Structure 1
């Protein structure tokens, strides 16, 4: 198993968000997490991605108990092993598409030329190589989201975590993005965990996890 989340609890004040959630994911799986707003989906995704810590429970990624690491080690682990795709892209407006894609590689201390070559290769695979020199404001929503997927993949992560990745896209671009995830899985054996309200994406995923009131059912 690439991911083992064991008995995860999380509260904010007196509000219980996660009430003992366990999830396992295999390499190359595309898993959707669905449920009503407030079910705990994004909180679970953020904890799996080490952006937040559980009150109780463990997260193992490729056998590494991630919350046994200190802050510096955890930051390095996150940068190397986890890619993120968010609903609102989170591209830095002052940088070009290529520069945005390469930032995690630069942070990892990789060779600049190698990172930029890899960035161009990913933009090409994702169909937005012609936008490499453009800033986000000059790109469509669909193009920005493809750039954000390329950024998530730049360090060849163990897991790609996507939080409502098509929530801001029209139906045509959403369908294209969903197909892209499957193409990347087939080409690169990439593993995706996707929080989504999109029923079409959930239906075509390898597995769908249903959440309600902080529990999987």
Structure 2
């Protein structure tokens, strides 16, 4: 799904990422944690093709088998729109548009049919529990509803991967928990892959793998333990 090798990033003389190697599989939820300045958001932006690493010997970034570092800007923009979804701390919804219209925007950019896109957007919003809020504008929605619209917008082009940068950082505890549970529902029911940068330890610990960044490098990986049920234990006896 995502494979990186030797990812470095400099801002002037500041060495932000220091040779990051990473492999993320389809259907995984991976969290990235670390202190402020550790390089989490920079790594997420490079994985999401919003920024580029320094090209050096052995540097590689492949997504779904595509070598994105060899794409020109036009091809990369198209690839990003069709294959990657993004959720940010602030929902970034356009205030003059309804929930439905906001969700449709990435598909319209991809020149998809208006009728088919609106039907798909309505289907996703209904799936996310927003059937009765489809024609409401952002200022008529709660914070949790706004983020669910942002999730729907990230999903409209059926992306291979959704990148989330502090997705619950602007939400109260209960709403944040509901959003976290939604990510796992999408993974379990639709096979969606997530890469999440977060300071929320509860969300980070829920992930299949937690990558801990220190000073521009992934220093440690924590895998979620596999919990065997009574039935599974009996089946091996």
State if a TM-score over 0.5 links the two structures.
Answer: yes
TM-score class, shorter-chain normalisation, is over 0.9
In the alignment, structure 1 residue 80 sits paired with structure 2 residue 79? no
- After TM superposition, what 4+ stretches of structure 1 lie above 6 angstroms from structure 2? none
Question: Is 2:121 the partner of 1:119?
Answer: yes
Unaligned runs of 5+ in 2: 220-237
- Separation in 2 of the partners of 1:10 and 1:131? 42
The total of aligned residue pairs comes to 216
Q: Which residue of the partner structure matches residue 166 of structure 1?
A: 168
Aligned to 1:205: 207
Deviation readout 1:79-99 (Å, 9 max, x if unpaired): 000000000011111111000
Deviation at 1:67, TM superposition (A): 1.6
| 2:26 maps to 1:27 | yes
Q: Give the secondary structure class of the aligned counterpart of 1:5.
A: strand
How far is the alpha carbon of 1:183 from its aligned partner?
0.3
Task: Give 1:69's aligned residue.
Answer: 71
Matched residue SS, 1:33:
strand
Q: Which runs of 5+ in 1 are unaligned?
A: none
Rounded Cα–Cα distance in structure 1 between residues aligned with 2:45 and 2:200: 19
C-alpha separation between the residues in 2 aligned to 1:91 and 1:23?
31
Tell me which structure has the larger Cα radius of gyration.
2
TM-score scaled by length of structure 1: 0.98
- What is the aligned-residue RMSD (CA, Å)? 0.7
Residues 22-75 of structure 1 deviation map (CA, whole Å, 9 limit, x = unaligned): 111000000000000100000000001110000132210011011211111000
Check if 1:97 corresponds to 2:99. yes
TM superposition score normalised by structure 2: 0.90
